[in-house]
Amino acid sequence: MPIDLICLDADDTLWHNMRHFEEAQAALLALLKPFADAQVTRAAMDACEMRNLSVYGYGAKGFTLSMVETAIELAGDRLPVRAIGEILAAGRRLLAHPVELLDGIEDTLDRLAERGRLILVTKGDLLHQEAKLAASGLGDRFAGIEIVSDKTPDTFRRLFARHGIDPACAVMAGDSMRSDVLPALEAGAWAAFVPQPGAWVHEQGRAPSDHPRFRELTRLAELPDWIDAIGAERAAP
C-alpha cells in the first residue's frame, strides 16, 4: 500500500510564522521594561497564553489578548492607556504581515503532488488562516483544506475517514511534535517532523523512540524521498 494522502501543516512548514510572533513579543518586552525584566515578562506571557488556550484558541487574536492581559498583570494601574494602543497595534501587524514562503516550497509541493493527494491541515483562527493561505498562492495545490481548532488523534481519524483513506496510507508532516507528529502516529499514519527555529514551547514534545512510522527531516524537501522509500519497502517481497 503506497502513501496516497499527504497532509501538511502550514505555519512554519510552508511559510514563516513564529518570527512574526517573536516580533510582537519583543514589542511587549520593550513596552513593559519599566515594570518587569524580560525574563519575568516572557514567563508571565507564556503562562497567560496557556491559561487562555481553552478560551481563545490558537492564533494571533488570542495572542494579542494575552499580551494585553500580561501587561495589565505586570503593570497594574501604572500601565499608561497608550500602552494598550501599542499592544493592539502590534497585534494588527501580526495579523497583516506578508506571507513569506519557506525556501523551495513550491518545487517541493510539485514533487509531493506527483506522489499523492495533498491536504493542508492547520489550526488557528479561521479567518486569519484563510487569509494567509490566499496570500500564499498555494491554495490550488491542495485537494483539501482542513482548518481545525486543535490537532488530536481524533482530528486525524476523522480526516482520514472523510477522505476515505486507510491511515497506513497517509503521512503528516509539520514542525510541531505535539500537534503534527504524535497525534498522527496515534491515529495510525506516518509522520515527519520538520523542526524550525523558535518553536513555541507548547508545541514541543519528546520524539518517539525507534518508531517505524516516524522520521525527522531537516527540511520538507526531503519528504518526497522518504515517501518513495516507504513505497519501495512495502513493495519489496
List pLDDT tens digits, range 62-71: 999 999 999 9
Domain ranges of the chain: 5-16+100-235, 18-96
> Which of 61, 9, 52 shows the shortest CA–CA distance to 199?
9
> Which of 62, 132, 147, 125 shows the shortest CA–CA distance to 96?
132
d(CA 202, CA 32): 23
List pLDDT tens digits, range 96-113: 889 999 999 999 999 999
Q: Which residues pair with 209 in a beta bridge?
A: none
Does the structure show a pLDDT above 70 at 21?
Answer: yes
d(CA 30, CA 180): 33
d(CA 155, CA 86): 37
Does the structure show a pLDDT above 90 at 45?
Answer: yes
d(CA 72, CA 135): 34
Averaged pLDDT, 202-230: 90
Of the ranges 16-20, 161-165, 190-194, which one carries the lowest mean pLDDT score? 16-20
SS3 4: coil
pLDDT score for 167: 97
pLDDT score for 52: 93
pLDDT score for 44: 96
Looking at domain 5-16+100-235, which CATH architecture does it have?
A: 3-Layer(aba) Sandwich (3.40)
pLDDT score for 122: 95
Q: Does domain 18-96 have CATH number 1.10.150.240?
A: yes
Averaged pLDDT, 109-130: 94
pLDDT score for 14: 97
pTM: 0.90
CB atoms within 10 A of CB 171: 26
All three cell numbers of 98: 506578508
Does the structure show a pLDDT above 90 at 196?
Answer: no
Q: Using 50, 70 and 90 to split pLDDT, how confident is the model at 208?
A: confident
SS3 170: strand
Does the structure show a pLDDT above 80 at 203?
Answer: no
